[in-house]
Chains A and B, each alone.
Chain A
Amino acid sequence: GSGDDAEGDDAVRKVKIAYDQASKPMSWIDENGKPTGYDVEVMKLVDELLPDYEFEFVGTTSDDLLIGVEQGKFQAGVKNAFWTEERTKKFLYPEEFLGLSSAGLVLRKEDENIKSLEDFASAGYSLAPIAANNAQYTVIEEYNNAHPDNPVKLQAGDSFTVDVVQWVNEGRVDGGVMIEGPFEKQVTAKDGPYHHLEEEVVYNEFDVIKTWPLFNREEKELAAAYDGAVKKLKEEKKLEELSEEFYGRNLFDVLDSVDR
């Protein structure tokens, strides 16, 4: 790892770990230009446990992360990635997941009773666009494939321009998919920019989903090493602490009910 004892050791392998630089609080570049976020911090801990590897964190866009990991520009990448069928053809998923993510619908207060994608679809509501390369897009798409008679209106867009909370509150859309973490920081937190909307919008979780680092298909050894390290971190409850720190909630409490 990056420990001092490893200096000068020929066996140490430098690997590039890409992270989505604009995905707070999962991964982002902080005010000082340093990478941080739940995903990044877990990987930093993993790095410490792996004396044979030295991680270099490279911030990039999520498009580039996917292509870069696939092409071997990066050995691995973290971007709050979900598991999808297509991705297994391009990437190597490790045994151990990285974290948990609560995916939910942001809704206006009066729509509080909508608790699932089925309810949302039945109401005929409109959904904020999701960037096509975001796994949230795939999650909804999978739902739609499973419920051809009651699909959610799904639109591809650019994450840069979509402010889900504002859009829902304005009425530009009826709902939007969001990860709980950002919603927490934006609305629930006292210093959140939309704390004043706390009484107007709600977050209704519809699923808790495992997130994964993506490895280049050649990186079987690295993935195995990662597996060992993460297993240890989970046992030490390190991940639960990070979940608390970045998402304001220990998602591992509901791990039993997580099915993907």
Chain B
Amino acid sequence: MIEKYFDPSYIWTAFSQLMPFLKVTFAVSGLSILFGTLLGLLLAAAKLGKSTAARKLADAYTTIMRCTPSIVLLFLVYYGVPFLAGQFGLNLHDVHTAVFVVITFTLQFAAIMSEVARSAILSVNRGQYEAAVSVGLSPLQAYRRIVFPQAVVVALPNFANGLIALLQEGALAYTIGLIDIVGKANLIVAANFNAHALEIFIALALIYWVLSILIEQFFSLLERWLGRGKRTIKTT
């Protein structure tokens, strides 16, 4: 029964067909991460700052993002943004699909990132800041030279997790017609009249799996390199 439908050779052909579209996946995730990180840092600053209104707003934003499935957010942005723009007489119809995908995942990643940054900064003992100002650094210098370098090390693993999560949520961009690797897989399946879809999906899964392992490895190397001061030396 299985032999009738399953032909591993499709997996290999699928690889070569899918690979060229990795660059779309990378471009879209890369931009989302870049913008999402920037927005996320702003949100984190709001959450840690003195203004109650800004903090409440940032918290509410995070809750909403946490509670919205990616696919729903994707559609809301894709259809909602041009719709709203249309209400103001703005025509966004020539904007490329990828832009909406980037907007969606920027919004989502910012929420993840704001929590990563917030908890990382909080994890740096307040004494570090106090010691810095006590030797005559200004508060800004204390953050820049003492608190942030330590927070970055703490944030790295969570940042990597967020990155992997984003990459995977990005797989849903095919639903609005983006031809990244999942979109391409969709096209291959369609070109085969939906036959041998399983093999294509397996190829897709393997690509994602390898990617996420690479990301993990990269970040654990980075962490070791950045975390020199945290190295624990076993002393007797």
Q: Which residues in chain A, 176-215, are within 8 Å of chain B measured between CB atoms?
A: 182, 185-186, 192-194, 196-197
Q: Which residues in chain B, 3-53, are within 8 Å of chain A measured between CB atoms?
A: 4-5
CB distance from B93 to the nearest CB of A (A): 4
- The contact string, 1 if C-beta is below 8 Å from chain B, for chain A 161-175, is 111111001100000
Q: Which residues in chain B, 144-181, are within 8 Å of chain A measured between CB atoms?
A: 174-177, 179
How far does the alpha carbon of A15 sit from the alpha carbon of B190 in the complex, in Å? 26
Listed stretches B118-126, B135-143, B194-202, B221-229; interface member:
B194-202
The answer to whether the Cβ of B218 comes within 8 Å of any Cβ in the partner chain is no
The answer to whether the Cβ of A116 comes within 8 Å of any Cβ in the partner chain is no
Given contacts A22-B186, A197-B4, contact A161 B191 (CB under 8 A): no
A residues apposed to B, CB below 8 Å: 21-24, 28-31, 59-61, 63-64, 67-68, 71-73, 159-166, 169-170, 182, 185-186, 192-194, 196-197
Q: B-side binding surface: helix, strand, loop or mixed?
A: helix
How far does the alpha carbon of A30 sit from the alpha carbon of B188 in the complex, in Å? 9
CB distance from A35 to the nearest CB of B (A): 11
Given contacts A29-B187, A61-B176, A73-B93, contact A182 B193 (CB under 8 A): yes
Task: Determine the chain B residues whose CB is within 8 A of the CB of A28 once the complex forms.
Answer: 187, 190-191
How far does the alpha carbon of A63 sit from the alpha carbon of B75 in the complex, in Å? 10
Task: Determine the chain A residues whose CB is within 8 A of the CB of B179 once the complex forms.
Answer: 21, 59
Some 23 contacts from A to B, beta carbons below 8 A apart, are: A21-B187, A21-B190, A22-B189, A22-B190, A24-B190, A28-B191, A29-B187, A61-B175, A61-B176, A63-B176, A64-B97, A64-B177, A68-B93, A159-B194, A163-B194, A164-B194, A166-B194, A169-B4, A182-B193, A185-B193, A186-B193, A193-B192, A193-B195
Given contacts A61-B176, A163-B197, A165-B195, contact A73 B82 (CB under 8 A): yes
Task: Determine the chain B residues whose CB is within 8 A of the CB of A197 once the complex forms.
Answer: 4
The answer to whether the Cβ of B83 comes within 8 Å of any Cβ in the partner chain is yes
B residues apposed to A, CB below 8 Å: 1, 4-5, 78-79, 82-83, 86, 93, 97, 174-177, 179, 186-187, 189-197
Can you name the residue of chain B whose Cβ is closest to the Cβ of A21?
B187
**B175 and A63: CB pair below 8 A?**
yes
**A21 and B177: CB pair below 8 A?**
yes
Can you name the residue of chain A whose Cβ is closest to the Cβ of B189?
A160
**B177 and A61: CB pair below 8 A?**
yes
How far does the alpha carbon of A73 sit from the alpha carbon of B179 in the complex, in Å? 19
> Most B CB atoms within 10 A — which of A61, A72, A159, A165?
A61
Task: Determine the chain A residues whose CB is within 8 A of the CB of B83 once the complex forms.
Answer: 71
Task: Determine the chain B residues whose CB is within 8 A of the CB of A60 once the complex forms.
Answer: 97, 177
How far does the alpha carbon of A29 sit from the alpha carbon of B186 in the complex, in Å? 11
**B186 and A160: CB pair below 8 A?**
yes
Pick from A21, A71, A194: contact of B93, CB below 8 A: A71
20 additional A-B pairs beyond A21-B177, A160-B197, A166-B195, beta carbons within 8 Å, are A22-B186, A22-B187, A22-B190, A23-B190, A28-B191, A31-B191, A61-B174, A63-B176, A64-B176, A68-B93, A73-B82, A73-B93, A162-B194, A165-B195, A166-B194, A170-B1, A186-B193, A193-B192, A193-B196, A196-B4
CB distance from A25 to the nearest CB of B (A): 8
How far does the alpha carbon of A61 sit from the alpha carbon of B100 in the complex, in Å? 15
How far does the alpha carbon of A61 sit from the alpha carbon of B190 in the complex, in Å? 12
Pick from B82, B97, B175, B193: contact of A193, CB below 8 A: B193
**B197 and A161: CB pair below 8 A?**
yes
How far does the alpha carbon of A30 sit from the alpha carbon of B191 in the complex, in Å? 8
**B189 and A59: CB pair below 8 A?**
no
Can you name the residue of chain B whose Cβ is closest to the Cβ of A27?
B190
> Most B CB atoms within 10 A — which of A24, A162, A186, A192?
A24
Q: Which 3 residue pairs are nearest across A and B when measured between Cβ atoms?
A: A22-B190, A73-B93, A193-B195
How far does the alpha carbon of A193 sit from the alpha carbon of B79 in the complex, in Å? 37
**B93 and A72: CB pair below 8 A?**
yes
CB distance from A191 to the nearest CB of B (A): 12
